[in-house]
A and B are shown apart, each in its own frame.
Chain A
């Protein structure tokens, strides 16, 4: 089942401006196309992309 952008946002309690729908869909398609290229990216499952700084905000 594939939800429309309008439905996805409605489920989050966000009312999309009707005039935005076409642009929103076009921009989202562009982002999906950019994402598709990621299959060529040399990232490994073990590559760590986020950090957990122990004990607080700063390492003193």
Chain B
């Protein structure tokens, strides 16, 4: 029974909890026990909340028995990335500098999840201050990819990716500034959604780069992501970037119907310099959508050629502004890799930053033009497969290329433009899962989730699971 529980998604668990076939107490015990057992190999957790979780599970059980079922996530055990504030709990950003930081309030998304009846099992590791993609953390150790323990899980939400993939958190939230939800989602074989900028409140999330940061779902299935987005999306006056618009319902629109959907492909940028196997997997998935009635159009997005510079200048400058004082006063307390990035971020001028914003606006206009002809734009999530832990270079069709420069190439533009982007698994390269990215116009999350669901229905992972989950 326990193996079955750990394998189940939220959409499968929710009816069992609702009809009292399983109890939140039993489920929480299974998930926490598995999380603790897999911790020596995976290192996904920063902190376990066993006592709190057991109390919350008992409360949820009581409510459900009394007929006060709150919805899909009631009684679901989840751990969250350690840059989301929990009232009276440590939030470390997996850093040394903030190792004892305790917030006096919950992040808005944490508050939303509490109201939905989620049971918090703990906090998950991340790349220090979210400023990297390996999750090879100098202070708390490397998080390992459950599909291959020698490989990175991606980052910066690598703890979230690994925990969901291995079943030590039924679902999770990540944050994404240049791809930090989608990169680990792709690397760990799960679903990751970076919503439209302003759709999900960032109040109570330690920032990396204010204008590029997003919070979003990381889940086992597309419907789990849709249900989670319904809980966390919405206007928040405490977040200056939050957008006041009517709340959307995503789950009813996730049907898998893609007849007459127009899929955009941009060959010049999003299929340039891609691992051959990944390229083939993504194109095969697109063909499957075509077989279901979708159409394909090629599109040009000229400003993409300047996107890398604009993304770099914007993210580096904003991140270095946030950490400027600590870089002056206690530089040795940063990990080496992020200290270097903070030093680099001190170099662009104000003119560089402002011209990057002009490029950003033009890029948004280019995407808007493209979306007049197409419904969604599909690309590989990553041009390369996850590399070995500790290796700064990665193989791209026989060439060793810089890992960081390459791994964010296809994810960064959605942060710069603020458009939503979803990563769903589309197959395997060797023993490692590969992700496909679906982008759309602002607030088109329902459409993206629906297309992702259509791909999910083709069973790209063939029912395979990481060994640690199978042998738990």
Residues of chain A whose beta carbon lies under 8 Å from any beta carbon of chain B? 5, 8-9, 12-17, 19-20, 23-24, 27-28, 31, 34-35, 37-38, 41-43, 47-50, 57-58, 60
B contact residues around A57 at 8 Å (CB): 237, 240
**When the two chains form their complex, are residues B354 and A38 in contact, meaning their CB atoms are under 8 A apart?**
no
Q: Choose among A24, A43, A49 the residue with the greatest number of B CB atoms under 10 Å from its CB.
A: A49
A23 and B237 CA atoms in complex are apart in Å by: 42
Residues of chain B whose beta carbon lies under 8 Å from any beta carbon of chain A? 237, 240, 242, 244, 302-303, 305-306, 308-309, 312-313, 327-328, 331, 336, 339-340, 343-344, 346-348, 352, 354-362
**When the two chains form their complex, are residues A43 and B331 in contact, meaning their CB atoms are under 8 A apart?**
no
**Closest residue of chain A to B308, judged by CB?**
A34
A24 and B226 CA atoms in complex are apart in Å by: 42
> Which of A19, A28, A42, A47 has a CB less than 8 Å from the CB of B344?
A28
**What secondary structure prevails in chain B residues at the interface with A?**
helix
B contact residues around A37 at 8 Å (CB): 305-306, 309
**When the two chains form their complex, are residues B348 and A17 in contact, meaning their CB atoms are under 8 A apart?**
no
**Closest residue of chain B to A38, judged by CB?**
B306
**When the two chains form their complex, are residues A23 and B244 in contact, meaning their CB atoms are under 8 A apart?**
no
B contact residues around A47 at 8 Å (CB): 358, 361-362
How far does the Cβ of A33 sit from chain B's closest Cβ, in whole Å?
Answer: 9
B contact residues around A58 at 8 Å (CB): 237, 240, 242, 244
B contact residues around A13 at 8 Å (CB): 328
- With A34-B312, A37-B305, A41-B362 as known contacts, state yes or no: A16 contacts B242, CB within 8 Å: no
> Which of A17, A24, A49 has a CB less than 8 Å from the CB of B360?
A49
> Which of B336, B347, B356 has a CB less than 8 Å from the CB of A17?
B336
- With A8-B347, A47-B361, A58-B237 as known contacts, state yes or no: A41 contacts B340, CB within 8 Å: no
**When the two chains form their complex, are residues A49 and B340 in contact, meaning their CB atoms are under 8 A apart?**
no
B contact residues around A43 at 8 Å (CB): 355, 358-359, 362
A contact residues around B356 at 8 Å (CB): 49
**When the two chains form their complex, are residues A14 and B328 in contact, meaning their CB atoms are under 8 A apart?**
yes
How far does the Cβ of A36 sit from chain B's closest Cβ, in whole Å?
Answer: 9
**Closest residue of chain B to A41, judged by CB?**
B306
B contact residues around A60 at 8 Å (CB): 244
A60 and B243 CA atoms in complex are apart in Å by: 10
**When the two chains form their complex, are residues B347 and A5 in contact, meaning their CB atoms are under 8 A apart?**
yes
**When the two chains form their complex, are residues B343 and A14 in contact, meaning their CB atoms are under 8 A apart?**
yes
> Which of A19, A23, A28, A50 has a CB less than 8 Å from the CB of B347?
A28
How far does the Cβ of B90 sit from chain A's closest Cβ, in whole Å?
Answer: 28
**Closest residue of chain A to B198, judged by CB?**
A58
B contact residues around A8 at 8 Å (CB): 346-347
**When the two chains form their complex, are residues A24 and B362 in contact, meaning their CB atoms are under 8 A apart?**
no
- What are 10 sample pairs from A and B whose C-beta atoms fall under 8 A apart? A12-B346, A14-B328, A15-B331, A16-B343, A20-B343, A27-B344, A31-B348, A37-B305, A37-B309, A41-B362
A47 and B312 CA atoms in complex are apart in Å by: 20
Given A24-B340, A49-B356, A58-B242, list of 11 further CB < 8 A pairs? A12-B346, A14-B343, A14-B346, A20-B336, A20-B340, A20-B343, A23-B340, A35-B352, A42-B303, A47-B362, A58-B237
**Closest residue of chain B to A31, judged by CB?**
B312
**Closest residue of chain A to B313, judged by CB?**
A31
**When the two chains form their complex, are residues B359 and A17 in contact, meaning their CB atoms are under 8 A apart?**
no
B contact residues around A50 at 8 Å (CB): 354, 357
